[in-house]
Amino acid sequence: MDDGRRWAIETFGAHGVHIRDRVPQLVREEHTASADAQEASGHRSRGVYGEFWRGILEKFEEFGNLPGSALIRPGQAPYSIPAVNGVAVFPWRYARNSEGDLLATPFTTSDARAAMFAVGDVDVFHHLFA
């Protein structure tokens, strides 16, 4: 068993492999929908695509429906995130390209993000794609 698969099972329990497989699908779907919306808007600014973060948060809500999971609202955030096996699942883009340093990028940039630490390990994406 590869390390990424093992980590997903150890972290998310019985749903680990499903989540690991589903995340890239959801990201691709939201990217396509956001890119299409941006193009349809005819706007020069990238503001329409800039709402990608809201769409991917909504797509990730499906993980909160898994048995033993829940949707939580971190702090006063205007969104909910799934907690699976006590682990917060949050779509964090820590860099614009693969050269970015995950460990050197601050995650806690708002009260809502700080509140996620009360749920569990937020460093999910580093391992999901390993």
What does the pLDDT read at residue 119?
A: 63
Take residue 93 and report the two structure tokens written for it: 């883009």
What are the boundaries of each domain within the chain?
3-128
pLDDT digits (tens, 9 = 90+) for 73-89: 888 889 899 999 988 89
Give 61-75 pLDDT, tens digit per residue.
999 999 989 898 888
One-letter amino acid at 89 equals V
What is this structure's pTM?
0.80
